[in-house]
Structure 1
C-alpha cells in the first residue's frame, strides 16, 4: 500500500497529465473532490468515482492543458492521513492559445492508499478570465 504522500504525488501527476483513469483509480469509491472557491459553472463537489469520471472526462477534452506544476511544496501533517500541497499550475487555454497560470492549495485525506477527500482551493479569478476569453462558436 502506498503512503499518503505517494498517493498524492501520483494524483498530482495524473491531474497534470489529464489522466482521468488514474485520478478515478486513486479515489475511494465514495471519495469526493471539492472546489470551495470557483467560478460559475464549476461544481462545488463531485462525489463518488462515476460522478468524478463523468466530470473529468468532459473537462479533459481540452479546456486547459497543463504543461507543468512549479514550486510544489508537500506538507505532511500530524494526522498521517492529511497532506497539504501548494503549487502553481502552468498551462495553456486550448481554444485561444493564451497562457494559463493558477495558484493552488489542495488538502487531501488518504486512507488505505485511496483519496477519501480532495479539497482544491484554487484562485477562481484566472479560471474565470480563461472562461471569459473563449468566444462561443
Structure 2
C-alpha cells in the first residue's frame, strides 16, 4: 500500500531543507518546472526562478554567502479549501554571514503542492532586514 505524503508534510520538508541549506533536497522537492518567487524583495534578488536548474544555480551561488537561518520560530501552517495550497507564517532567526550580526526575518509563504512536488513557492519576506543586512556589509 502506497503512503500518501500530504501537502503539509512536503512544506515541512521544504522548510527544513531551506533552513539546513540542503539545496539538493530543496530542489528535489520542486516540480521540474516549478517556481520560487519573491513578490517583495530587496534589490538584486530576482522576482522569480523557474525550474530546478535555475533554482539550484541561484541557491548554490547565494546559500552560504549572505544569510544563514538557524531557527524558524512560531511556525503556523494554514491549510486552505484547496488541498494543494498551504500557507505558512514564521519568524526566521539567523546570522548575517560576513558580519556575524543577528538577523530576524518575518515570513509568510504560500505553497502549491501537487503529487508530492512543489509547483510554486511564493515567499513573502519582509525585505527591510535583508536590505539592512546588505547595507551592513557594503557600507551603503
- TM superposition score category, shorter chain reference: over 0.9
Tell me the alpha carbon deviations over residues 80-128 of structure 1, each in whole angstroms, 9 at most, x when there is no partner. Answer: 0000000000000010010000000000000000000000000100000
Look up the match of 2:130.
127
1:30 maps to 2:33: yes
Q: What is the Cα-based RMSD across aligned positions, in Å?
A: 1.0
- Moved segments of 4+, more than 4 Å: none
Determine which of 71, 87, 91 is the counterpart of 1:88.
91
> Contact 2:68 / 2:97 at 8 angstroms: preserved in 1?
yes
TM-score in terms of structure 1 length: 0.97
Q: What pairs with 1:64-79 in structure 2 (closer than 5 Å)?
A: 64-79=67-82
1:106 maps to 2:112: no
Determine which of 31, 47, 50 is the counterpart of 2:50.
47
Deviation at 1:135, TM superposition (A): 3.3
Give secondary structure in 1 for the equivalent of 2:98. coil
Say how many residue pairs are matched.
136
**CA–CA distance in 2 between the matches of 1:61 and 1:113?**
27
Gap runs ≥5 in structure 2 = none
Deviation at 1:28, TM superposition (A): 0.0
1:117 maps to 2:120: yes
